[in-house]
Amino acid sequence: MTFQERPLDRDASSVGAAGGRDTVPTPTSNSVAVHLNGLRRRFGGVQALDNLDLEMAPGELIALLGPSGCGKTTALRVLAGLEDADSGRVLVGGKDITELPANRRDMGMVFQAYSLFPHLTALQNVEFGLGLRRVRSAQRRERAGAMLDLVGIGTHADRYPHQLSGGQQQRVALARALAIQPQVLLLDEPLSALDAKVRVQLRDEIRRIQLEVGTTTLFVTHDQEEALAVADRVGVMRAGRLEQLGPPDEVYQRPSTAFVADFVGLSNRLPGTVSGDRVEVLGTALPLVPGAASGIGSGAVNALVRPEAVDLAVDPDGRGRVLAASFLGPTSRVSVAMPDETMVVAQVASALLPELAPGTAVRIELRPVPVVVEAA
C-alpha cells in the first residue's frame, strides 16, 4: 500500500473505539496488528529475550515496563528490524516480516534522544521520510506541516534541532515518525531525557496524539508511572520474559507475581500465614490474588501490601509507633514500626500529617484488597 492510498486523517470514532481507555482492545485471532512469537535473543552470556510472546490489537498502545536489562528495548528493536532475533517470528498485520530489513518494515520510531538530523530544520526532518517515499514536494510540505501542528510545534517549523528544547525535539521526532503513517509506532524511552514537568506534559500529548491517529504503538519505558498513565495494556518484563500483561489497573491492583507487585508501585513485605485462599497479615485476613500462592502452599509467607491499602488511626493503645513521614503533596507516606520490628508504610492524606508526629501511637488496619505472597 502506498502512502497516498492511506489517508492521513482517520475517523475519530473508529480511533476511539480502537484505542480509548473505555474499551481496552484485546487482540483476537483475526484482529492482531503485531505478533511477536517466541522471540529469543542472547547477547554473550545474557539472555535478553527468552521466548517472548506478545500480541497487540490494532490501535492499541502497549507499554513494556521493566528494570534495565530486562529485554524491553531489545524486543522493540527486534520489532523495528534494528536487531535480529536468534529465533522466533515477527508478524505485522498477519504478514511475517522477520526477515525484512528495517527500512522495509513501515514502522515509525522515536528514540530516547538526539535522533533528529541536526542539519535539517524541524519541517525538513518531518519531510525526510516522505521524501524517501517520493511524495511530491508540495504534498510533503503540507503533510509535514500538519504533523507539526498535530504535535503542537507548527510555529517552530523553521528551527534547527539545536534551537529547540529537549521536549520540542521529541515532539518533532514524534511528528517525523507519524508523518510516514507507519503501521506501528515504536517509542523507545522517548521521555527519559526530559525534565519532570515536560515529561508529564509530553506523556499526555503522546497519548492524545496516539488516540487521534490510532496507530498501534509499542512504548518502552522504565518509568512505571509513565507506563500506567499512557498504556491500554502494560507488559512487565523480567529477564527477557513477560511477567504480566494487562490493563494498568489490573497490573497495579492484582499483580500476578511478587516481582510485579514489587516493581510496579511500592509494597510492604509483611509476614503472614496462608490458609486456603486467604492470608492473615497483622490480624487481618486478606484475599489472595488467584494463583498467587501456587507453589508456596500453606504456612508462613511474606505478603506484599500496597501503602494505600494500609489505614492508620491515632490510638493511644495502638501497637504501632510513627517513625517518620514523607510529604508527597496531596498524600504523604508514613513509616510505622511494629513491636516485632516489622516496618509498615502507609499512604495517608497529607491533611492528617499534623496528627502523626514521630512517636505517635497508631492502630493499623489493612483493607481487604487481593495481595500476592512470596515464600518467607
Which residue ranges make up the site for other proteins (CB under 8 A)? 80-82, 101-109, 111, 114-115, 117-119, 128-129, 131-133, 149-150, 152-155, 162, 165, 167-168, 171, 176-177, 180, 186, 198, 201-202, 205
Write down the least CB distance from residue 6 to other proteins, Å. Answer: 14
86/149 with CB nearer other proteins = 149
Q: Are strands 343-349 and 331-337 parallel, antiparallel or unpaired?
A: antiparallel
Question: Nine-digit cell at 86?
Answer: 536468534
DSSP conformation letters of 30-71: T--SEEEEEEEEEETTEEEEEEEEEEE-TT-EEEEE-STTSS
Write down the least CB distance from residue 259 to other proteins, Å. Answer: 31
Write down the least CB distance from residue 143 to other proteins, Å. Answer: 14
Question: Nine-digit cell at 92?
Answer: 505485522
Write down the least CB distance from residue 226 to other proteins, Å. Answer: 17
128/259 with CB nearer other proteins = 128
How far from the centroid of its chain's Cα atoms is residue 52's Cα? 17
Question: Nine-digit cell at 94?
Answer: 498477519
68/103 with CB nearer other proteins = 103
* Helix, strand, coil percentages for the chain (3-state, nearest 5): 30, 35, 40
155/298 with CB nearer other proteins = 155
Q: Which residues contact 318 (CB under 8 A, 6 or more apart)?
A: 361, 362, 363, 364
Write down the least CB distance from residue 82 to other proteins, Å. Answer: 5
108/272 with CB nearer other proteins = 108
Write down the least CB distance from residue 162 to other proteins, Å. Answer: 6
Contact 371, 303 (CB under 8 A): yes
Distance CA 22, CA 144 (A): 31
CA dist list (Å): 268 to 294, 333, 337: 20, 12, 12
Write down the least CB distance from residue 207 to other proteins, Å. Answer: 13
Q: Residue 12: which region, alpha, beta or left (left: phi > 0; alpha: psi -120 to 50)?
A: alpha
153/312 with CB nearer other proteins = 153
178/356 with CB nearer other proteins = 178
Other Cβ atoms within 10 Å of 61 Cβ, number: 26
